[in-house]
Amino acid sequence: MDKNSVTGLVLITLILGVFWWMNKPSEEELAKQRELNRQNQIAALQEKEAAKDALPIADKITESIADTTSDEELKAKFGSFSNAIKGETEFSTLENNLVKITFSNKGGKVYSVELKDFKTYDEKPLILFDGENNTFGFNFYHNNKPFNTNNLFFNKLNSSSKTSIAYALQTADDQELTFTYSLPEDSYMIDMTMSQKNMDGIIQTNRGSLDFDWKVNVFAQEKGRKNELQNSGIFFKYDQDDIDEIQGKSGEEEIRTPLKWVAYKDQFFASVFIAKDKFTSGSVAAVVNDIEGSQVISTNKSSLVIPYEGGIESSQDFQFYYGPNHYLTLRKYKDIELHKMIPLGWGIFGWINRFVVIPVFNWLEGSIASYGLIILILTLLIKVALFPLTYKSYMSSAKMRVLKPQIDAINEKIPADKAMERQQATMGLYRKAGVSPLGGCLPMLLQMPILFAMFRFFPASIELRGESFLWATDLSTYDSIFEWTTNIPLISSFYGNHISLFTLLMAVTNIVYTKMNQEMTASTSQMPGMKSMMYMMPIMFLFIFNNYAAGLSYYYFISTLITILQTVLIRRFVDEEAILAKLNANQKKPQKKKSGFQARLEEMAKQQQKAKAAQKKK
């Protein structure tokens, strides 16, 4: 790429940027549009639900009650459930050392959940969800009229147990639907049993199943809203298959195969509804709220089909997990694979995190209190393990560099219009000297899985949440050293309204490393335009990572800094004159047979040259 091409690209980019800025809507217009989009998404979901054979919600029952003036009319309208239509909401709690759960007699459901060992980023109690906007209920018919347990008042059953609570929907003597909840010590997992006695003629279903509705407004818990949104969503596990999700966006999905569990997950915490058997089918929907400052980051809803046996007596068992997305905690439930909610990466990236990074990280965690030091030591261990590849990559570059005068001589001897002859002569030189053109690339490629694995590990690591190091008050979010509220065109949209120092340091070290590489690499002088293009990546990092976890930027900063120090040390102890002498000696040895790779390269060059010659003749 020549100078004119680079200049043209820069000018086009500037023109497009100015055009975009001139036509960019104001922040007020963007906020209105986001709110309008969100309202449209909610309206679309509500319209779709209304179009289904769905059951009425609490408002419809309330309207019916408003028209009812006597118990006789209630009995006529609501049949056996007339005594459960009216009532006063009462709350009860179960708690252990980890979690406090508030229950409501309206719906006999979990009303709110507080995690005791955690706080929000602004030091408030961490509440997963709370309030009447969160629904939890089973749908059924009675006297050909639809009901939902979320809207019915249950009776709390007396119990001396401090670890369990039970609510019963009683229609007559020996007729009841009971929800029993049990909370063990030292556990985030809550057991739930839905049992019925003599309700076969009361609860009517013609499909042998009940529809279950679960909706939760997920609260914002973290400082970096954008990062939290990207790592939040609905996860669901198929009964005999893997996990799927709707993450970081609004969406909905119909599921026609059995499910094991559904989870409403934010960046570091989750609410999971688990079937001891399975859910027959269902649907899930998420509406993301990206309005800055709003308490709710998303509204998640699921409708699940649950097998219902009926009979004189029957019961079904479920579980709830209300807790952190901590890998070792979720790994305890590996039979249902809750740990797969944590986005550690797919394929080899996930394997590196699960079997190398996390065990080493937790081992260091046991003896070192500072997570900044843990990341530093982890980085040192990784760089030591990768040093042979770094050394091999440097040596390959050194060989190419000392051969550059001979390559320049070939280029001067053979005209530029004879590209195939140039390439054959260059490859012949490499072959005689015993140098592989890809020798420096392969070691770098082998290091890439670790770089990508760490990119997934740090944003998902709850261990870093709330942990400070140097100027960073929380390694799980950005480390701003300067903030502003004024909207700056382009800067606020793409960069943000703060400066993250670890990101800035990471960008600077990458620029230094890029400069070192260009000085050491012989090929860049042949493509002057590439020199300026190589600096684009560190600048892009500056924009991309400014809102990411400080722990991630800190790791990349330390990793690049160590690589620079390793390169400086290697240069001091490597004698390039000795390397050149060895390569010259190799050229005097009898020629070895061409490798299959070299032969293929030469054949491809010949074919390209023939194609060009044929085009010129035309």
Domains in the chain, CATH or no CATH each: 35-343 (2.70.98.90), 352-600 (no CATH)
Residue 66 is predicted with a pLDDT of 45
Reduced to 3 states, what is the DSSP secondary structure of residue 67? coil
Distance between CA atoms of 48 and 287, rounded to whole angstroms?
14
> For the residues of 345-401, what is the DSSP string, one character each?
-SHHHHHHIIIIIHHHHHHHHTT---HHHHHHHHHHHHHHHHHHHHHHHHHHHHHHH
Answer whether 439's CB lies under 8 Å from 396's CB.
yes
Phi, psi of 460 (to 5 degrees): -95, 0
Amino acid at 400: M
Region of residue 439 (left: phi > 0; alpha: psi -120 to 50; beta: else) = alpha
How do 233-238 and 125-130 pair as beta strands? unpaired
Residue 595 is predicted with a pLDDT of 56
Residue 200 is predicted with a pLDDT of 76
- 190, 194, 299, 359, 578 from 138: Cα distances, Å: 18, 10, 19, 42, 79
Reduced to 3 states, what is the DSSP secondary structure of residue 281? strand
Residue 439 is predicted with a pLDDT of 59
Answer whether 217's CB lies under 8 Å from 296's CB.
yes
Residue 51 is predicted with a pLDDT of 42
Distance between CA atoms of 1 and 11, rounded to whole angstroms?
15
Residue 40 is predicted with a pLDDT of 52
Q: What is the total residue count of the chain? A: 618
Residue 615 is predicted with a pLDDT of 66
Over the stretch 409-425, which tens digit does the pLDDT of each residue have?
777 777 767 667 777 77
* 204 DSSP 8-state letter: B
Amino acid at 471: W
Region of residue 87 (left: phi > 0; alpha: psi -120 to 50; beta: else) = left
Output the pTM of the full model.
0.76
The residues facing 236 across adjacent strands are 244, 262
Helix, strand, coil: what percent of the chain each, to 5? 45, 25, 25
Q: Which of 197, 269, 200 is nearest to 233 (CA)?
A: 269
Residue 228 is predicted with a pLDDT of 87
Over the stretch 242-267, which tens digit does the pLDDT of each residue have?
889 898 888 889 999 999 999 999 99
Contacts of 332 (CB under 8 A, 6+ apart): none
Residue 238 is predicted with a pLDDT of 92
The residues facing 77 across adjacent strands are none
* Number of helical (H) and strand (E) elements in the chain, helices listed first: 19, 21
> For the residues of 428-497, what is the DSSP string, one character each?
HHHHHHT--TTTTHHHHHHHHHHHHHHHHHHHH-GGGTT--BTTBS-TTS--EEEE--S--TTHHHHT-S
What stretches in the chain show pLDDT beneath 50?
A: 1-8, 19, 46-60, 62-64, 66-68, 522-525
Residue 23 is predicted with a pLDDT of 52
